[in-house]
Chain A
């Protein structure tokens, strides 16, 4: 498949935004349950605001993918059958809940709704945040299932796709949270950075698993089954178009093996290895290093998503032997 830039931006931006929200919201719970020490300045509201902006940026990018963005609202119609439709619903819901959470925190207009058994006060923002967690989890599944549900794009058709989207989104979100915590001298820094390291390593593992799975895949389709002529030697003479067609432009990437190898090594280095090294090596007193770690990881994940598209081999390419 040919990578669509707007989709690369959409999936990576919302992944980081969702991860960032999960990082701060989970930290708040840990604080509430006295597992993490109290912190002097709480920038949870700002972080959630940034998470909202990342989701909004992803949403904006996705509009560039559409031929008729003015009709985008129609895409919510078929949620019963279409994962894309479900994503179109889950994304605004997650955004709205995260925004509500952020606003309540920022304006400190956050009444206690009830207390948990042991006298832990549960505020309205915590409830909104809980809804947001559900929406964010749904959104991760919907986004990944858009790809994983297409059964003849075998490279995508695997639970690993869902796991990858989840782990990579969370990893980049926690790395960003680490950078924010370092900048704001938040005591939850250690929690964020420890989680970022573990999530990044887990994402590396699961991405590696899908890379090796994809290397072993063999297509059940062939030119023989595609045109129904059962002869071992078939050569295409004409593809039915002179200057190419949508089929040759949208599905066949035409990049060489050397470039693909470079991108594969590059994204493993940038998205997984470099951030872990930086997170382990740097000291919270030098926050710029963590910003760099996030920037590298984000670039790496963009490259990863690009490669994710390139990896998927569409069976229709069989009909275009002359160039594919």
Chain B
């Protein structure tokens, strides 16, 4: 069974919000209608988003790291938000594991948002229906797009390639390999929702810097070295400088 999902590398995410803006751009322009904002240019802008990036400071000054944390629907394999929906508007697609909301059936009762422990669902204030990440279901199968663009738009827009997309049930996929080889983990595993989206942990990167790297011992242009002197009796090639 296919389970499409995202793997988000917290080690490379720089918190630039490119995924947030591209997600909003793609999904607000789609057939399903806009993702409405209130007060977009005022002091307290608020609106519907499928994806948000939060930032955390880990550790105590001066030994701190900033962790940027993109957050969206995790397309849980055992999604608690689906069985509670009274209308069947919320469903998990058997063919690819994407959890979707049928906006034409949703009555806006908000019950599914109570049942999602991650707070991944948002009611649209104007359309009064529940919205959440669709994994760009309207892109990934679109044959009018070149094949390399049939990916969620957040994945395409990420400048650091921190977002990997693929079938996590296919051990050969880039996503599954990232999970298996780079310690991919799930959020709040204690609720056994089995989120399909995984995160890759922060990794400590240590570079050994040797004295000669700083000194550039092997640099032929080293100022410190006495190189061959330019002949003083005849003009040189560029008539100005030489070793």
Q: A-side interface residues toward B, CB under 8 Å?
A: 1, 4, 65-69, 71-72, 74-78, 81-85, 88, 146, 149-153, 220-221, 223, 225-229, 231, 233-247, 250-251, 314-317, 319-320
| Inter-subunit contact B128/A68 (CB<8 Å) | yes
B interface: dominant SS: loop
Given contacts A77-B88, A251-B119, contact A241 B108 (CB under 8 A): no
B87: A residues at CB distance < 8 A: 71, 74-75, 77-78, 85
Residues of A within 8 A of B186 (CB): 228
Contact with A along B107-131 (1 / 0, CB 8 A): 1111101111111011100011100
Interface size on B, as a range, is 35 or more
B residues in contact (CB < 8 Å) with A: 10, 15, 20, 38-39, 42-49, 52-60, 66-67, 69, 71, 80, 82-89, 105-111, 113-119, 121-123, 127-129, 185-191, 199, 201-202
- Are B129 and A77 in contact (CB-based, < 8 A)? no
What chain A residues lie within 8 Å of B113 (beta carbons)?
246, 250
Min CB–CB distance B8 → chain A (angstroms)? 10
Cβ 8 A contact of A226, one of B80, B89, B105, B188: B188
| Complex Cα–Cα for A242 and B44 (A) | 6
In the complex, what distance in Å separates the CA atom of A91 from the CA atom of B148?
A: 52
Q: Quick one: which of A83, A233, A245, A251 contacts B49, CB cutoff 8 A?
A: A245
Which residues of chain B have C-beta atoms less than 8 A from A231's C-beta? 58-59
On whether the beta carbons of A82 and B83 are closer than 8 Å, the reply is yes
Q: Is the CB of A82 within 8 A of B129?
A: no
Contacts of B80 in A (CB 8 A): 150-152
Nearest-Cβ distance from residue B107 to partner chain A, whole angstroms: 5
Residue of A with least CB distance to B48 = A246
Q: Shortest Cβ distance from A76 into chain B, in angstroms?
A: 7
B45 touches A84 (CB 8 A): no
Residue of A nearest to B113 (CB): A250
Distance A244 CA – B48 CA, assembled complex (angstroms): 11
Q: Kindly list the 10 A-B residue pairs having the minimum CB-CB distance in the complex, ordered from nearest.
A: A67-B108, A67-B128, A316-B119, A240-B52, A243-B44, A85-B86, A81-B83, A246-B122, A75-B86, A243-B46
| Across-interface contacts of B127 in A (CB, < 8 A) | 67
Inter-chain contact B129/A315, CB cutoff 8 Å: no
Give the distance in Å from the alpha carbon of A179 to the alpha carbon of B110 in the complex: 37
> How far apart are the CA atoms of A261 and B111 in the complex, in Å?
28
- Are A149 and B191 interface neighbours, CB within 8 A? no
Q: How far is the CA of A149 from the CA of B115 in the complex (A)?
A: 9
Whether A244 touches B118, Cβ cut-off 8 Å, given contacts A85-B86, A315-B191, is no
Flag if A146 contacts B88 (CB, 8 Å): no
Q: Is the CB of B188 within 8 A of A84?
A: no
Q: In the assembled complex, which residues on chain A have CB atoms less than 8 Å from the CB atom of B107?
A: 66-69, 71-72, 74-75
For the complex formed, measure the closest distance between the CB of B12 and the CB atoms of chain A, giving whole angstroms.
Answer: 15
| B188 with A150: CB separation less than 8 A | no
Q: Is the CB of A247 within 8 A of B122?
A: yes
